Amino acid sequence: MKLLVLGTRTFAPEIADVASEIDGVEVAGFVENMDRGKCSETLEGLPIFWIDDIAPMRDSHFAVAALGTTSRSRFIDQVEALRFRFATLVHPTARISSNSTVGEGSVVCPGVIVATRTTIGRHVILNRGAMIGHHTSVGDYCSIMPGANVAGACSIGPSTYIGMGALVLDHRTVGSHSVVGAGSVVTRDVSDNVQVIGSPARVVKENIEGR
């Protein structure tokens, strides 16, 4: 599989590194959609392609997003409009139950554990060492950051960001487009479009659109 990594910021080499350790995946380059000047440079020794120039590659390459923020959906929409296929990357040190599923375009980084009867949506990032419990659902475009632990029978809405080391206790719901701050402990349900921090987590911002 020849792979184009969407993005050129600091998270892009991380995703490329994950991909490079998966058998059968070859990183062919990176894709930029904001600053065309970057396309005269290289990243990790590989070319940077401008988004408007990659259409001829759609039948020979797959794509995956390398933006840690949930706003990566905008970049993905651009590439989807070009009729690209998206890769699902699972690092060999991750453990995903055979009874669970991971959606198209998602990235499962080293040390991740996904327990049984769990559904991971499309274009989700499960960053290093994240743990997702049994009978849990994680919506499309979510970002679960390093060391976060989402317990069993939880529901995480689309485009929600769970910060580094955060805990979501069992049977809790976190709404869509919300942010759980790093190290926070979610003991009660979290509504849509809010940011929560602390232990126990409390609302500090409302009317947000993820991170």
How many Cα neighbours within 13 Å face the side chain of 81? 8
Strands 95-96, 113-114: parallel, antiparallel or unpaired by DSSP?
A: parallel
158 has pLDDT over 80 = yes
Could you tell me if 4 and 30 are in contact, meaning their C-beta atoms sit under 8 angstroms apart?
yes
Furthest C-alpha separation in the chain: 51
User: What's the mean per-residue pLDDT of the chain?
Assistant: 97
133 vs 153: CA distance, rounded Å: 7
Q: What is the mean pLDDT of residues 66-78?
A: 91
Inside any domain, residue 175: yes
Report pLDDT for 35: 96
The Cα–Cα gap between 106 and 112 comes to: 13
What's the mean pLDDT in 138-150?
Answer: 98
pLDDT of 13-63, one tens digit each?
999 999 999 999 999 999 999 999 999 999 999 999 999 999 999 999 999
Residues 55 and 99 in one domain: no
Cα angle vertex 27, ends 20, 17, to 5°?
35
- Which ranges in the chain belong to alpha helices (H)? 11-20, 73-81
Asked whether residue 137 is domain-assigned, the answer is yes
Q: What is the CATH number of the domain that holds 182?
A: 2.160.10.10
d(CA 160, CA 203): 14
The percentage of the chain sitting over the pLDDT mark of 70, rounded to a whole number, equals 100
Do 81 and 174 fall into the same domain? no
H helices, E strands: number in the chain: 2, 25
List 149's β-bridge partners, or say none.
Answer: 131, 167
Q: Are residues 159 and 147 in the same domain?
A: yes
Confidence band, pLDDT 50/70/90 cuts, at residue 209? confident
135, 46: one domain? no
Domain identity same for 61 and 80: yes
Percent of the chain with pLDDT over 90: 97
Average pLDDT over residues 182-200: 98
Full domain range(s) for residue 179? 89-206
Q: Has residue 211 been placed in a domain? A: no
The CATH code of the domain that includes 50 is: 3.40.50.720
Q: What is the mean pLDDT of residues 3-7?
A: 98
Q: Are residues 177 and 112 in the same domain?
A: yes
